[in-house]
Amino acid sequence: MPDDRPVVKLLAGQGKRLKAGAPWVFSNEIAMRPEYRRMRDGTLVRIEDDAGTSYGTFLFDPHALLAARLLDRDPAATIDAAWLFRRLEAAISLRARVCDGSFHRLVNAEGDRLPGLIVDRYGEVVTVRAQIAGMERMIPQVVSALEALLPVREGVPAFVEEAGLRFPAGSGWYFDRRAFRDGVASLASGARVLDVCCHSGGFGLRCAAMGAEMVTLVDNAPAALGWARDSALANGFSSVIDIRPGDAFDVLGAIGGTEERFDIVICDPPPLTASRKEVDVGLRAYGRLARLAASVVAPGGFLFTASSSPHVSTESWLGHVAYGLHRARRDGRILWQGGAGMDFPMHPRLPEMAGVRGMLLGF
């Protein structure tokens, strides 16, 4: 019962972030007592400061750096199936207003006030993932609520639909890039397109559907190129698709040494930094990629590039891309920049959860 909910105290002087609206509490903000450490991961607790001010109901993990995540501003909130139903209903209502169709991110963790919960919708199938123990224990109730609210079932999706095209869902689809694909594809009529780090070919095939003259897909993963080839065949674009296996840096460097140029170049690499220690190395890689990519853009053409490295700031990434353009002796202009679509809501106090950032440059 809420009245019996354990109270976890902050250290004296802590709580500034919570007072400013942050939904997270880190372990170094908590007066970590022995009784706290004995609590099971995912215990529902109230967080209070040394003055007795309560900040709400949280999921508590005494052994994690990120020790508590906000569930409800009400410290006495009843967290049950009805509570989950209301939160999921709100998430579904948002997507009904901002999404076109039934393939999208349905629940985006703190952005939907459901910390650690990720739900993706693939038509009549949903995938449900919990990133923390407390939410993991709620999954059966989450699935029951979703099946009551929507004509869906939990399972393994077979395909993704986007803009009238079908792609294999098993490849791991990036819903957060949809707005990027929309924007790039709108420029593709009659264009020669180079899609580097193409994965399953989402960008390139969207361009083909919009009338691109030729689309070259590059990736160093045989499985990715297999998905891209299958997608091209299934959607009727095999005749305009050229598949080139290889490392992005090597392929771009080789093209740069020829006369071949492209009206649109897309560089959406996987994260180039795995930790904070690798940020400098990753930033240099982003700069080098920008230099090589800009070198193969035809006059009057476009370059789309993106970063999904969580430890790289937007400012630093932009700076290294700009330096890459300078080294390529190309005067690019930023035409558009942004992040994931509206099915990826983000808590305003968690900029680190922004995820992917993309930028379109004109030459």
For 214-262, write each residue's pLDDT tens digit: 999 999 999 999 999 999 999 999 999 999 999 999 999 999 999 999 9
Structural domain boundaries enclosing 328: 160-362
pLDDT at position 1 over 60: no
pLDDT of residue 2: 64
328 and 237 co-located in one domain: yes
pLDDT of residue 26: 96
308 and 187 co-located in one domain: yes
228 and 245 co-located in one domain: yes
Backbone φ/ψ region at 97: left (φ over 0), alpha (ψ -120 to 50), beta: alpha
Residue 344 and residue 355 in contact, taking contact as beta carbons nearer than 8 Å: yes
In the listed set 22, 41, 72, which residue is the last one of a domain according to the structure?
72
Residue 355 and residue 339 in contact, taking contact as beta carbons nearer than 8 Å: yes
pLDDT tens-digit series, residues 167-176:
988 778 999 9
Residue 2 and residue 78 in contact, taking contact as beta carbons nearer than 8 Å: yes
Q: What total number of domains does the chain contain?
A: 3
For residues 40 and 36, give the distance between their C-alpha atoms in angstroms, rounded to a whole number: 9
Residues 6 or more apart whose CB falls under 8 angstroms from that of 149 comprise: 85, 88, 89, 92
308 and 357 co-located in one domain: yes
145 and 286 co-located in one domain: no
pLDDT at position 145 over 60: yes
The CATH number for 91's domain is 3.30.750.80
For residues 347 and 127, give the distance between their C-alpha atoms in angstroms, rounded to a whole number: 22
In this prediction, residues 75-85 reach a mean pLDDT of 97
Backbone phi, then psi, for 359, in 5-degree steps?
Answer: -150, 135
336 and 356 co-located in one domain: yes
pLDDT of residue 106: 98
197 and 251 co-located in one domain: yes
What burial class does residue 148 get, using C-beta atoms within 10 Å of its C-beta: 0-12 exposed, 13-18 middle, 19+ buried? exposed
Annotate 274-307 with DSSP letters as a single string.
SSGGGHHHHHHHHHHHHHHHHTTEEEEEEEEEEE
The CATH number for 21's domain is 2.30.130.10
In the listed set 136, 157, 178, which residue is the last one of a domain according to the structure?
157
Instruction: State whether the Cα torsion 341-334-199-241 is positive or negative.
Output: positive
Backbone phi, then psi, for 222, in 5-degree steps?
Answer: -55, -35
pLDDT tens-digit series, residues 82-125:
999 999 999 999 999 999 999 999 999 999 999 999 999 999 99
Residue 61, amino acid = D
Sheet containing 66-72, strands listed edge to edge, beginning at the edge strand earlier in sequence: 7-9, 43-48, 54-60, 66-72, 24-26
The band of 353, judged by pLDDT with boundaries at 50, 70 and 90, is confident
166 and 294 co-located in one domain: yes
pLDDT of residue 172: 80
User: Mapping DSSP to helix (H, G, I), strand (E, B) and coil, where does residue 47 land?
Assistant: strand
The CATH number for 225's domain is 3.40.50.150
Backbone φ/ψ region at 287: left (φ over 0), alpha (ψ -120 to 50), beta: alpha
Annotate 122-147 with DSSP letters as a single string.
ETTEEEEEESSHHHHTTHHHHHHHHH
Strands 125-130 and 117-122, sheet pairing: antiparallel
97 and 169 co-located in one domain: no
Instruction: State whether the Cα torsion 166-162-286-194 is positive or negative.
Output: positive
pLDDT of residue 273: 85
pLDDT of residue 3: 65
101 and 39 co-located in one domain: no
